[in-house]
A and B are shown apart, each in its own frame.
Chain A
Amino acid sequence: ETGVTQSPTHLIKTRGQQVTLRCSSQSGHNTVSWYQQALGQGPQFIFQYYREEENGRGNFPPRFSGLQFPNYSSELNVNALELDDSALYLCASSLDGGPYGYTFGSGTRLTVV
């Protein structure tokens, strides 16, 4: 059973740029959720994709968007990067939505300069 893999592990971007982060879900999981973890804070829910459609969203602006593909892998896109977007971005996969059986990836550390 493979876990959740995220790429890249680290990334440095300039303010105003756009970034795409990738996540491969655990085998057998059809739901992917994304979280932002700022330094010294707990993870904050960004959104969730279930069978290729967004079915839940936290308090994040529209410049945070995503996709889920037929193989249930997912992308998180952030446009017009701001310094405050610097954080660890976590992906979690599960079966049929809900956080009951989350498997988390190790995250992508994004630094915006």
Chain B
Amino acid sequence: AQSVSQHNHHVILSEAASLELGCNYSYGGTVNLFWYVQYPGQHLQLLLKYFSGDPLVKGIKGFEAEFIKSKFSFNLRKPSVQWSDTAEYFCAAYSGGGADGLTFGKGTHLIIQP
């Protein structure tokens, strides 16, 4: 069965620090990958997604992610974080093959200290 693992459950950074959140998936076939963000009290929002093509994907709010097929990874990065980036971040995968829905990781709680 497909699974998604996120390496860090809690991350604390200072403003202007660089961010990298790890995500690995276990599925050998074609997979679509997503990063979602959930700000406190708000709904899940799509940050970026990868389907095919350029493995470096740029999303909203200055986030980007790199798909490395050989490592089954899709890490999220941001060069300089802001206090407003404090949120829960979820990596998710979709393998297609019908209406199987997304497989989410457990999430990373990111806290940015001013």
Binary A-proximity of B50-68 (CB < 8 A = 1, otherwise 0): 0100000000000000000
List, in ascending order, chain A residues with CB within 8 A of B98's CB: 55-56
Q: Is B82 an interface residue when CB atoms closer than 8 A count as contact?
A: no
> Max chain A CB contacts within 10 Å: which of B32, B99, B103?
B99
Give the residue of B32, B92, B99, B106 whose beta carbon is less than 8 angstroms from that of A40.
B106
Chain A residue contacts of B46, Cβ below 8 A: 102
Interface residues contributed by chain B, number (CB under 8 Å): 27
Q: Are B99 and A55 in touch, CB under 8 angstroms?
A: yes
Q: Looking at chain A's contact residues, is the secondary structure mostly helix, strand, loop, or mixed?
A: loop
Q: Could you tell me if B99 and A43 are in contact, using CB atoms closer than 8 angstroms?
A: no
Count A interface residues, CB 8 Å.
Answer: 27
| Interface set of A (CB-CB < 8 Å, partner B) | 3-4, 33, 35, 40-45, 47-48, 50, 55-56, 58, 90, 92, 97-100, 102, 104-107
